[in-house]
Amino acid sequence: MSQPPAVPTTRRTSSAAVTGLVLGILALTCFSILAGIPAIILGIVALSRISRSGGMLEGKGLAIAGLCTGGASVLILPIVAGLMLPALSQARAKARETVCMSNAKQVMVGVFQYAYDHQDQLPDSVDALTEDLGDQESRSRLLTCPQSGATPCFELVITGRDLSSLPNPGQTVVLRETQAPHHGRRVVGYADGHVEIVAGD
């Protein structure tokens, strides 16, 4: 008696292997650890299922590729983050310098307004600028250093003198930060109204 013909078996590709590879590629291109970790897990699951399928599942290469790309993304991400953090820190420091310079410029406007209202005489301190820097909230914002948090963060270098009597207005410092919070530098305001960041004392 003849045996019935063998039914051909259809091999199929592991869906876990395909998904793992897709996630691994996505993780590499987007530097996403959220896709990298699932890619590793799916790669391991796919390899396990393929080895236990008795030849019914294929896609071992896809599973290995997904495992490798997912692993690479997880390893690369900390390196990329380590390279980017110093740049981000520098950008934040630069932004704070810009805010300090803007605040100093506005305080200098207040100094000039005070001098205009007091027969050209400079105030005795920044505390005298209560009406020239706006309301309490504005004064607090202008006189608080965004870098160090010091308040008041500005002090007058020259007080009580006539503004018009100061020699070399473009080189005569009238206002300066009380500290040097910008990597050893501080914002200063000159008698002609311009502000700069210079090396601290």
**DSSP calls for 162-184:** BGGG-SSTTT-EEEEESS-TBTT
**What's residue 102's pLDDT?**
92
Q: In sequence order, which ranges of the chain are alpha helices (DSSP H)?
A: 15-30, 33-52, 60-117, 136-142
- pTM confidence score: 0.61
**What's residue 150's pLDDT?**
79
pLDDT in tens, 22-39: 988 888 887 677 788 888
Residue 174 in this model has a pLDDT that exceeds 90: yes
**Six token digits for residue 173:** 């410092």
How many angstroms separate the CA atoms of 59 and 92, rounded?
48
